[in-house]
């Protein structure tokens, strides 16, 4: 449990036990192999309680220039932005962003949560702020039936987006799919090039305005409830 919670490596935990620094329900533990019930037993290291989390979910404010990938030897990835004490968890990304896109990115160890956010059957809306090269005077065209190519060059029918705001070069819209370059390709289809793309919301969870680009925070159960459809 202690190594899963990233207190240290298995070897470190053995050393802590030998040094009599671990207690379970206030009794000293002699061996790192002691079995515990992580939901009920109180485990402390040096008197500080170590809470057992079944899963851990992070909100990241993704900056430009980082790949939404958990491993890519060819360049910087969003994992490079995860602080060391969290980086040992086995994160998956619940809905990638392009390398040049910014904004709300969710990293989680919870496979079901990933599925609930990205599954095409769930129709979870993701809201994007788009800045285009030219002013957008034909945004209504985004609401007309549209076919685009996905990452495998297969045509698909785009589900109608929600057009939230249009003001000159700025468009705020929400889409309920997450196909390859979808927002950029939707704008291309109506004759516009996207200059910047920022995701600001997934379902009801908004990007925390206090989170600077490149920063992450651990989400609590209330935050996670805003992310998934009931
Ligand atoms: N649409 C895009 O074109 N890129 C993203 O990163 C997300 C949505």
CA of 102 to the centre of ligand 1 (A): 9
Residues with CB under 6 A from ligand 1: 97-98, 101, 181-184, 197
User: What confidence tier does 168 reach under pLDDT thresholds 50, 70, 90?
Assistant: very high
Which residue CA neighbors atom 3 of ligand 1 most closely?
181
- Mean pLDDT rounded to a whole number for the chain: 94
CA of 22 to the centre of ligand 1 (A): 47
Which residue CA neighbors atom 2 of ligand 1 most closely?
181
Can you give the residue ranges of every domain in the chain?
Answer: 10-49, 56-117+208-230, 125-202
Give the pLDDT score at 56. Answer: 93
State how far the Cα of 9 lies from the Cα of 16, in Å rounded to an integer. 11
- Average pLDDT, integer, range 52-80: 91
CATH class of 56-117+208-230: alpha beta
Q: Judge whether 56-117+208-230 and 125-202 match in fold.
A: yes
CA of 181 to the centre of ligand 1 (A): 4
Give the pLDDT score at 105. Answer: 98
Going by C-beta distance under 8 Å and a sequence separation of 6 or more, which residues neighbour residue 84? none
- H or E, element range at 28: strand 27-28
26 as an active site residue: the answer is no
130 phi, psi to nearest 5 deg: -120, 135
Q: Which CATH number fits domain 125-202: 3.30.70.1560, 3.30.70.2660, 3.40.50.2000, 3.40.50.1360?
A: 3.30.70.1560
Which residue CA neighbors atom 4 of ligand 1 most closely?
181
Beta strand 194-202 pairing with 102-108: parallel
Mutational test site, ligand 1, from 104, 159, 173, 181, max ligand atoms within 8 Å of CB: 181
Mutational test site, ligand 1, from 128, 161, 189, max ligand atoms within 8 Å of CB: 128
User: What confidence tier does 210 reach under pLDDT thresholds 50, 70, 90?
Assistant: very high
pLDDT at 88 over 80: no
Which of 26, 84, 90, 98 does the annotation list as catalytic?
98
Residue pLDDT, tens place only, 116-147? 999 988 999 999 999 999 999 999 999 999 99
pTM (predicted TM-score)? 0.85
Going by C-beta distance under 8 Å and a sequence separation of 6 or more, which residues neighbour residue 138? 190, 191
User: What confidence tier does 9 reach under pLDDT thresholds 50, 70, 90?
Assistant: confident
Going by C-beta distance under 8 Å and a sequence separation of 6 or more, which residues neighbour residue 152? none
CA of 112 to the centre of ligand 1 (A): 22
pLDDT at 51 over 90: no
């Amino acid at each position: 449990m202690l190594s899963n919670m990233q207190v240290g490596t298995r070897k470190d935990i053995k050393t802590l036990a030998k040094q009599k620094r671990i207690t379970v329900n206030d009794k000293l533990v002699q061996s790192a192999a002691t079995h515990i019930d992580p939901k009920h037993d109180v485990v402390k290291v040096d008197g500080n309680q170590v809470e057992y989390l079944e899963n851990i979910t992070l909100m990241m404010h993704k900056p430009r220039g980082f790949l939404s990938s958990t491993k890519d030897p060819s360049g910087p990835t969003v994992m490079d932005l995860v602080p060391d004490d969290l980086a040992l968890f086995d994160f998956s990304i619940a809905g990638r962003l392009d390398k040049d896109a910014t904004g709300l990115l969710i990293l989680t160890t919870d496979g079901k949560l990933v599925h609930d956010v990205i599954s095409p059957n769930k129709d979870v809306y993701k809201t994007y702020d788009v800045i285009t090269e030219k002013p957008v005077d034909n945004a209504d065209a985004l609401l007309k039936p549209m076919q685009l190519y996905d990452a495998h060059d297969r045509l698909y029918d785009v589900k109608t987006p929600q057009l939230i705001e249009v003001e000159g070069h700025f468009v705020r819209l929400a889409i309920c799919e997450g196909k390859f370059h979808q927002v950029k390709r939707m704008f291309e289809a109506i004759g516009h090039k996207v200059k910047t793309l920022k995701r600001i919301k997934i379902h009801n969870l908004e990007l925390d305005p206090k989170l600077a680009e490149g920063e992450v925070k651990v989400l609590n159960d209330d935050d996670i409830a805003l992310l998934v459809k009931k």
